[in-house]
Amino acid sequence: MDEVDRALLTQLQRDATQAYAALGQAVGLSAGSAHERVRKLRERGVIRRTTVDVDPDAVGRGVLAFVMLDGNAWMGGATTRESLAAIPEIEEAHIIAGSASLLVKIRTGTTKALQTVLRRIFDIDGVTGTHTIVVLETAFERPINLDHDEPN
């Protein structure tokens, strides 16, 4: 991936709906060249999907929690993944290192609904405990920064 690809990705993260002509102009390419590069980025899996960023409060999902799951065995298998994926309020699930086995991100409309989700998590085979962090306010969120390389 070169600097032009990085610039394209940065532009797309800002606004994925912009026309290829505008996208190309922003990075110094023709519309056709911009389209071709974006197509190749999709084929290679660099661009995984195009989506809309929805305000959770506006759609009644203002309660955000991160929950660490403890287990009595390895929790990274297909059965656990499928069980977690079956709970629609869970937006993300990550296998982690540390005292817990998994970290999940949950959005609900109320703390009562969050409690219901936590009960469903406890019903998953192998889950022995949870540690829940309820977010009071999000200071900021940002897309992946492609403008600089990470330090080694």
pLDDT tens track for 6-52: 999 999 999 999 999 999 999 999 999 999 999 999 999 999 999 88
- Which residue(s) pair with 133 in the sheet? 66
Please report the pLDDT score of residue 147 as a whole number.
Answer: 75
Distance CA 66, CA 49 (A): 24
Q: What is the CATH number of domain 57-135?
A: 3.30.70.920
Q: Which of the four pLDDT bands, split at 50, 70 and 90, describes residue 148?
A: low
- Domain ranges across the chain: 3-43, 57-135
Whether 3-43 shares its CATH topology with 57-135 is answered no
Q: What is the pTM of this model?
A: 0.83
- Structural tokens at position 103: 């970290």
Highest CATH level, class, for 3-43: mainly alpha
Please report the pLDDT score of residue 115 as a whole number.
Answer: 98
pLDDT in tens, 83-129: 999 999 999 999 999 989 999 999 999 999 999 999 999 999 999 99
**Nearest CA among 22, 21, 23, 19 for reference residue 9:** 23
